[in-house]
């Protein structure tokens, strides 16, 4: 069990890596375009490798697949709230909140914390939750928001489009393949696992460095009220989820610890891009996205101190 001091020191190390990425960008060592290069390495290599390595260390019952449903359900509830609080507002406002109050940035942000503190079972639980979350983040949420906004992105509501996006996501494919292998008690060759452990070991550092390079907050003062509203509702619900999952669900401790942490993740990193696609305020969306990173560092660190 990690002590408070260890949790704080590791959290500070994570913050230092994020700050280093931001500082090196400001100093001109990295540029904004480098975010996309490191993002490709994380999404296509180190995160899938970490998924393979951690799933290879556990045995899993098929009953754990309910965690995928939880990932879907949490997104669904946030979407419903985002829509309902804007019933009297414009279609654009409804769509903006649907995109920027929902989704969880798990692969790039939460996984480094989970890798460091919760072990293979916690990692697997987080991965299963993210499998459900990914279904929403990579297409379903955007499809619904696009329909609500009246923007009518061609193909946005197509099931085929959503499925194509999911299948082309290497981390999602890794989740599905490793979940099936683990449920059926099949193991990969030792050499594959050793490769995955080596590459996956770089995931936490690269993911955090990438977040630092991409971190940016620019906003007008007249947008502060909207930001406060989105963040207050998002994290109010996240706190309720976290407490409910940890104290009420009939799962083993390590799974409840993972769920208590994962719902405190920042908003999905693709929200600003999707906001732009429906003609929304990308600058405001980017500010909200970056602020959720700051809040989630504090929230997840606090949760780890309490649940470990």
Q: What is the DSSP string of 224-292?
A: HHHHHHHHHHHHHHHHHHHHHHHHH--S-HHHHHHHHHHTTPPPPTTHHHHHHHTT--HHHHHHHHHHH
Residues 114, 263: Cα–Cα separation, whole Å: 12
Supply the Cα-derived Rg of the chain in whole angstroms: 19
Which of the four pLDDT bands, split at 50, 70 and 90, describes residue 273?
Answer: confident
Residues 91, 88: Cα–Cα separation, whole Å: 9
pLDDT value of residue 102: 95
Residues 178, 165: Cα–Cα separation, whole Å: 19
Which of the four pLDDT bands, split at 50, 70 and 90, describes residue 163?
Answer: confident
Which of the four pLDDT bands, split at 50, 70 and 90, describes residue 3?
Answer: confident
The number of beta carbons lying within 10 Å of the beta carbon of residue 31 is: 11
pLDDT value of residue 107: 85
Which of the four pLDDT bands, split at 50, 70 and 90, describes residue 28?
Answer: very high
pLDDT digits 0-9 by tens, 66-112: 999 999 999 999 999 999 999 999 999 999 999 999 999 998 899 99
Residues 31, 24: Cα–Cα separation, whole Å: 9
Count CA within 13 A, CB hemisphere, residue 236.
8
Mean residue pLDDT of the chain comes to 90
pTM as predicted: 0.89
Residues 40, 54: Cα–Cα separation, whole Å: 21
Residue 36 burial (10 A CB sphere; 0-12, 13-18, 19+): exposed
Query: In this model, does residue 199 exceed pLDDT 80?
Result: yes
Contact at 8 Å (CB) between 289 and 266? Answer: yes
Measuring CA to CA, how many Å separate 161 from each of 27, 57, 95, 191?
Answer: 40, 34, 19, 35
pLDDT value of residue 63: 85
pLDDT digits 0-9 by tens, 214-257: 998 877 788 899 999 999 999 999 999 999 999 999 999 999 99
Instruction: Tell me the range of 30-34, 139-143, 226-230, 276-280 where mean pLDDT is highest.
Output: 226-230
What three-state secondary structure class fits 13?
A: helix
Written as six digits, the tokens of 237 are: 């619900």
Give me the percent of the chain exceeding a pLDDT of 90: 68
Q: What share of the chain is helix, strand, coil (3-state, %, to 5)?
A: 75, 0, 25
Written as six digits, the tokens of 184 are: 């059926």
Higher pLDDT, 58 or 239: 239
What three-state secondary structure class fits 114?
A: helix
DSSP 158: -
Which of the four pLDDT bands, split at 50, 70 and 90, describes residue 115?
Answer: confident
pLDDT value of residue 1: 52
Which of the four pLDDT bands, split at 50, 70 and 90, describes residue 13?
Answer: very high
pLDDT digits 0-9 by tens, 121-160: 999 999 999 999 988 987 789 888 888 888 655 545 566 7
Question: Assign residue 19 a region: left if phi > 0, alpha if psi is -120 to 50, beta otherwise?
Answer: alpha
pLDDT value of residue 271: 92
Written as six digits, the tokens of 22 are: 């931001």
Span 169-178, mean pLDDT?
90
Span 202-222, mean pLDDT?
88
Residues 270, 134: Cα–Cα separation, whole Å: 11
Span 171-180, mean pLDDT?
91
pLDDT value of residue 2: 61
pLDDT value of residue 53: 93
What b/e readout covers 210-233, taking b as 16+ CB neighbours within 10 angstroms? bbbbbbeeebeeeeeebbeebbeb
Give me the percent of the chain exceeding a pLDDT of 70: 96
């Amino acid at each position: 069990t990690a002590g408070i001091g260890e949790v704080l020191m590791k959290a500070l190390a994570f913050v230092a890596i994020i700050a280093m990425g931001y500082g090196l960008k400001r100093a001109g060592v990295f540029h904004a375009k480098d975010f996309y290069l490191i993002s490709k390495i994380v999404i296509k290599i180190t995160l899938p490798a970490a998924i393979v390595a951690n799933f290879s260390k556990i045995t899993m019952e098929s009953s754990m697949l309910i965690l995928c449903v939880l990932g879907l359900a949490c997104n669904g509830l946030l979407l419903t709230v985002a829509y309902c609080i804007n019933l009297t507002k414009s279609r654009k406002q409804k769509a903006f909140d649907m995109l920027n109050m929902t989704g969880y940035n798990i692969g790039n942000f939460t996984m480094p914390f989970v890798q460091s503190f919760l072990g293979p079972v916690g990692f697997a639980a987080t991965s299963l939750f993210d499998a459900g979350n990914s279904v929403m983040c990579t297409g379903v949420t955007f499809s619904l928001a696009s329909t609500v906004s009246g923007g009518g992105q061609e193909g946005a509501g197509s099931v085929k489009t959503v499925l194509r996006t999911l299948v082309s996501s290497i981390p999602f494919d890794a989740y599905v393949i490793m979940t099936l292998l683990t449920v059926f008690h099949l193991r990969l060759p030792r050499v594959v696992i050793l490769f995955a452990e080596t590459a996956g070991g770089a995931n936490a550092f690269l993911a955090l460095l990438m977040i630092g390079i991409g971190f940016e907050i620019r906003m007008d003062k007249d947008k502060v009220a909207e930001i406060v509203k989105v963040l207050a509702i998002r994290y109010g619900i996240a706190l309720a989820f976290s407490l409910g999952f940890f104290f009420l669900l009939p799962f083993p401790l390590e799974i409840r610890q993972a769920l208590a942490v994962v719902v405190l993740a920042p908003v999905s990193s693709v929200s600003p891009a999707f906001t732009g696609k429906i003609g929304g305020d990308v600058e405001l969306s980017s500010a909200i996205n970056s602020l959720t990173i700051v809040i989630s560092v504090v929230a997840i660190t606090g949760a780890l101190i309490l649940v470990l």
